[in-house]
A and B are shown apart, each in its own frame.
Chain A
Amino acid sequence: MGRAVDIVSILLLVGAGVAFAFGVFALGVERDAQALYWLLVGALLLRSSVDALRPRTGSR
């Protein structure tokens, strides 16, 4: 099961890269709002990916 979470984390990372690419691509086709949307999605995917691995400390 732990390995499944590892795979989810890697998939989230790949998803972040794809979302960032969509965001930059949307900037190229003059869809600025869509670009911001995909960049936000990418940032959340990255954060999810790394939070699934980090140890949970008391301060967090």
Chain B
Amino acid sequence: MTAPSSAWRVTPQANIVLPGLYAWVATVLFPAFSPESPRVARLASVLALAALVAGPFLATKRPRLGRGVGVVGFAVLALATWAFCPAALSIDRIDPVQACLGAVGWTFFAFGWGAVRDVGLVPEDDPRALGGAPLRARGALPVGAVLVFVVAVLAAVAPLVAAWRVVRPPHAILGHAVATLCAIATITVGVEVAVARTEKRAERSPGQRMRSAARPLAALLVVLAAGVIWSLLQ
């Protein structure tokens, strides 16, 4: 087996640096080097770039320090850059396409710092791997779990779509934040609804199950009644 080439050896670092570099160019470089930005913003942006490049290489020898420099250092220095040049980041000056592409770059930067199994590595070859037959799952998903999950995802998409109808700028940001929270809550509950219908839980009688939800259902009825009265009075 031949030794890997030097280009192959730096692939893990490139996976982090390249998307990070893209995110830096799209979201940090332009505001930092706009004409009205102060020198301190430019200095912070250059230091952010240095942290971005140095972090992955430091991480090969000292993982904790490398992650601290490459993730926390880079993010903090990018934030400092933005803090020093607020005028360049005003809503009316941000290019939406560039901002979206920058967000994608930051996403891939985050994924780049994740660890994945090396190409060609077989986990069972590890000397610490346990032998014997594969362990079997002790439970199975209830019938229709995937369907319930799909329904939950569709229900979660509804507020996210509605958020794009909010046109007042401050409320638009709030709308997207609220919609994201609602979507997360809906999917979280949807997953629980999808997998919780196991045999053991089904042993509870339907009456017991509905009594478990009596309090929120009662509160819901009160709120709905109040809503009807409110709409009648207006």
The interface of chain A, by Cβ under 8 A from chain B, is 1-2, 4-6, 8-10, 13-14, 16-18, 20-25, 27-30, 37, 39-56
What is the CA–CA distance of A9 and B154 in the complex, to the nearest angstrom?
16
What is the CA–CA distance of A55 and B148 in the complex, to the nearest angstrom?
19
Can you list, as one digit per residue, whether each of B167-178 has a CB less than 8 Å from chain A (1) or not (0)? 110010011001
Residues of A within 8 A of B212 (CB): 51-52, 54, 56
User: What residue in chain B is nearest A42 (Cβ atoms)?
Assistant: B182
For chains A and B in complex, what number of residue pairs have CB atoms within 8 angstroms?
A: 137
- A20 touching B186, Cβ below 8 Å: yes
B169 to chain A, nearest CB (A): 12
Partner of B162, one of A5, A13, A28: A28
What is the CA–CA distance of A1 and B216 in the complex, to the nearest angstrom?
21
Residues of B within 8 A of A55 (CB): 201, 204
**Given the interface contacts A13-B152, A28-B175, does A56 sit within 8 Å of B216 by beta carbon?**
no
- B227 touching A1, Cβ below 8 Å: no
Residues of B within 8 A of A52 (CB): 209-210, 212-213
Main SS class of interface, A: helix
Residues of A within 8 A of B219 (CB): 44
The interface on chain B, measured as residues whose beta carbon lies within 8 A of the other chain's beta carbons, has a size of 51
Residues of B within 8 A of A42 (CB): 182
What is the CA–CA distance of A35 and B76 in the complex, to the nearest angstrom?
35
Residues of A within 8 A of B210 (CB): 5, 8, 52
Residues of B within 8 A of A9 (CB): 193
Partner of B154, one of A5, A16, A17, A45: A17
What is the CA–CA distance of A48 and B215 in the complex, to the nearest angstrom?
8
Partner of A48, one of B156, B165, B217: B217
- A18 touching B155, Cβ below 8 Å: yes
The interface of chain B, by Cβ under 8 A from chain A, is 148, 151-152, 154-159, 161-163, 165-168, 171, 174-175, 178-179, 182-183, 185-186, 189-190, 192-193, 196-197, 201-202, 204-206, 208-213, 215-217, 219-220, 223-224, 227, 230
Q: Which 10 residue pairs across A and B have the least CB separation, nearest first? A: A17-B155, A21-B158, A28-B165, A20-B182, A28-B166, A51-B213, A47-B216, A24-B162, A20-B159, A44-B220
- B159 touching A23, Cβ below 8 Å: yes
User: What residue in chain A is nearest B155 (Cβ atoms)?
Assistant: A17
- B204 touching A39, Cβ below 8 Å: no
